[in-house]
């Protein structure tokens, strides 16, 4: 609390004015190395605009931004890690709509542009929908990791459709191998890796509108569309022959240990579906692109759902209106703003106009190609649901499912927990 209070006082002083007042104040979740990287982006804006910009990071940003807004001391710009909090603040009248035409710009210049407009559009205090959030800095989850040498030795090709991925799964078993490593263990958060599987499967079996309805509880967890997506995960995870250690080991295997089977000799598994961060848990010295690589978790060829991508990202919103705040949002539209972080690390962008050569990391460049190829982008669904569901009953329900309960039973239990929140 003392740290948050100090940050609040720091922002209040900058906003109130005085000799050291900044022309533009920004608050976000980044500290340490991440803060150093965002400062390099802000340096570009400082040089172009001539404005003094102050950034304050906090590891309790989600709580602090609400406190500051309620106290009338919010920064000009806030960087939200999740759309849900931004939507809540818009509804309370704490956000300013972005300038007219911003939505049109996003549709034209961002891959899957309408997706980003949808994710940043909320009802304001008056109930009218407006675009409040500008997405900048994205994470990618729809990835399958593998060891190229293992694929080459076995003669396996990278699948380009879900049908081919399932066929490859069956082929590996027929050849005497085990296709997948899957682990749901994560201490008190055990179960969350399965929610990503289900979200990806919702995007590959149902329309984006159905996904959005599900996240908002307009499409219920026990609806056949949702339980079918859960069973799509089960096709991979509940078959003893398909998973290292057998289906019974899925719930108890820690997600951080799960990919290690890729690197065993002989391989304990050939594929691992996980987000872009997972190389942090690969054996020390693993070189991504050589010792390990990834491909897009593919969509069904037989379904007309395009190339959906699941991920996360940060949105930037105006929490204390000023001309400088709108000027900064305009800056975020420039390729320079994106390439300044691309030249560092940990950054992906849906901006179609950037120069891919700006990426300092070829792995990120390859991931960005997947992002730019997406026809639909959707935010991690569990992060958009109420905490008691998305970070509660959804997690435990997937552990129960991995343990043998039916998708219908699990869906009913999760839905009951959501209904109980009313």
Over 97-154, what HEC string results? CCCCCHHHHHHHHECCHHHHHHHHEEECCCCCEEECCEEEEEEECCEEEECHHHHHHH
Is residue 12's pLDDT more than 70?
Answer: no
- Which residues span the domain enclosing 207? 143-308+381-419
Q: CA 15, CA 72: separation in Å to the nearest integer?
A: 10
Which residue in the block uniquely carries the two structure tokens 């390439």? 339
Taking only the tens place, the pLDDT of each residue in 248-304 is 999 999 999 999 999 999 999 999 999 999 999 999 999 999 999 999 999 999 999
Is residue 115's pLDDT more than 90?
Answer: yes
Whether residue 282 is found in the same domain as residue 341: no
Taking only the tens place, the pLDDT of each residue in 369-414 is 999 999 999 999 999 999 999 999 999 999 999 999 999 999 999 9
Q: CA 101, CA 131: separation in Å to the nearest integer?
A: 10
What confidence score (pLDDT) does residue 17 get?
A: 46
Q: What's the token pair of residue 410?
A: 């699990």
Between the alpha carbon of residue 198 and those of residues 162, 184, 201, 251, 379, the distances in Å are 14, 13, 5, 15, 13
Which of 374, 390, 411 is a domain's end point?
A: 374
Q: CA 266, CA 258: separation in Å to the nearest integer?
A: 16
Taking only the tens place, the pLDDT of each residue in 201-247 is 999 999 999 999 999 999 999 999 999 999 999 999 999 999 999 99
Phi-psi bin for 176: left (phi > 0), alpha (psi -120 to 50), beta? left
Is residue 310's pLDDT more than 50?
Answer: yes
Whether residue 275 is found in the same domain as residue 412: yes
Whether residue 386 is found in the same domain as residue 369: no
Compute how many other C-beta atoms are within 10 angstroms of the C-beta atom of residue 17. Answer: 9
Whose CA is closest to 230, among 411, 391, 384?
Answer: 411
Whether residue 286 is found in the same domain as residue 315: no
Is residue 165's pLDDT more than 60?
Answer: yes
Banded pLDDT at 90 (limits 50, 70, 90): very high
Whether residue 318 is found in the same domain as residue 175: no
**pLDDT > 70 in the chain, percent:** 95
Reduced to 3 states (helix: H, G, I; strand: E, B; else coil), residue 278 is helix
Taking only the tens place, the pLDDT of each residue in 120-147 is 999 999 999 999 999 999 999 999 999 9
Mean pLDDT of the chain: 94
What confidence score (pLDDT) does residue 8 get?
A: 52
Q: CA 281, CA 185: separation in Å to the nearest integer?
A: 14
Whether residue 22 is found in the same domain as residue 125: yes
Whether residue 103 is found in the same domain as residue 214: no
Whether residue 151 is found in the same domain as residue 273: yes
Whether residue 163 is found in the same domain as residue 262: yes
Check: CB of residue 116 under 8 Å from CB of residue 377: yes
Mean pLDDT within 323-335: 98
* b/e burial code for range 234-263 (CB count within 10 A of at least 16 → b): bebbbbeebbbbebebbbebebeebbbbbb
Overall number of domains in the chain: 2
Taking only the tens place, the pLDDT of each residue in 332-376 is 999 999 999 999 999 999 999 999 999 999 999 999 999 999 999
DSSP state of 391: I
Whether residue 120 is found in the same domain as residue 251: no
Whether residue 54 is found in the same domain as residue 134: yes
What confidence score (pLDDT) does residue 1 get?
A: 36
Whether residue 206 is found in the same domain as residue 229: yes
What confidence score (pLDDT) does residue 145 get?
A: 98
Entry pTM: 0.92
What's 402's domain CATH number?
Answer: 3.40.190.10
Q: What's the token pair of residue 421?
A: 């929140």
Is residue 5's pLDDT more than 60?
Answer: no
Mean pLDDT within 149-162: 98
Taking only the tens place, the pLDDT of each residue in 18-60 is 435 799 999 999 999 999 999 999 999 999 999 999 999 999 9
């Amino acid at each position: 609390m003392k740290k948050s209070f100090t940050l609040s006082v720091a922002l209040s002083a900058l906003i109130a004015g005085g000799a050291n007042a900044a022309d533009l104040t920004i608050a976000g979740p980044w500290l340490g190395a991440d803060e150093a990287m965002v400062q390099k982006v802000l340096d570009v804006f400082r040089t172009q605009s001539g404005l003094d910009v102050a950034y304050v990071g906090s590891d309790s940003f989600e709580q602090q931004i609400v406190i500051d807004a309620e106290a009338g001391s919010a920064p000009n710009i806030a960087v939200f890690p999740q759309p849900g909090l931004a939507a809540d603040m818009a509804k309370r009248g704490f956000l300013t709509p972005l300038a007219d035409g911003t939505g049109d710009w996003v549709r034209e210049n961002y891959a899957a542009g309408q997706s980003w407009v949808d994710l940043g559009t909320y009802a304001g205090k008056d109930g009218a929908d407006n675009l409040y959030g500008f997405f900048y800095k994205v994470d990618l989850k729809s990835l399958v990791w593998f060891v190229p040498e293992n694929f080459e030795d076995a003669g396996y090709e990278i699948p380009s459709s879900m049908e081919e991925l399932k066929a490859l799964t069956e082929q590996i078993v027929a050849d005497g191998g085990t296709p997948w490593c899957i682990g749901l263990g994560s201490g008190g958060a055990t179960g969350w890796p399965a929610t990503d599987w289900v979200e990806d499967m919702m995007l590959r079996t149902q329309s984006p509108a159905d996904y959005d309805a599900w996240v908002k509880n307009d499409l219920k967890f026990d609806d056949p569309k949702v339980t079918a997506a859960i069973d799509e995960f089960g096709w991979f995870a509940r078959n003893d022959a398909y998973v290292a250690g057998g289906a019974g080991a899925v719930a108890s295997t820690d997600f951080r240990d799960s990919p290690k089977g890729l690197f065993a000799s002989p391989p304990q598994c050939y594929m691992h579906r996980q987000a872009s961060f997972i190389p942090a848990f690969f054996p020390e010295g693993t070189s991504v692109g050589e010792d390990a690589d990834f491909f897009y978790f593919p969509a069904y060829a037989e379904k007309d759902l395009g190339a959906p991508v699941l991920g996360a990202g940060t949105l930037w919103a105006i929490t204390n209106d000023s001309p400088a705040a709108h000027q900064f949002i305009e800056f975020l539209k420039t390729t320079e703003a994106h390439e300044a972080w691309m030249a560092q690390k940990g950054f992906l962008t849906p901006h179609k106009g950037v120069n891919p050569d700006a990426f300092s990391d070829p792995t990120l460049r390859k991931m960005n190609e997947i992002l730019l190829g997406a026809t639909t982008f959707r935010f991690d669904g569990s992060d958009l649901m109420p905490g008691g569901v998305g970070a509660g009953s959804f997690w435990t329900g997937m552990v129960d499912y991995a343990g043998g309960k039916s998708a219908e039973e699990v869906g009913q239990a999760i839905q009951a927990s959501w209904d109980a929140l009313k």
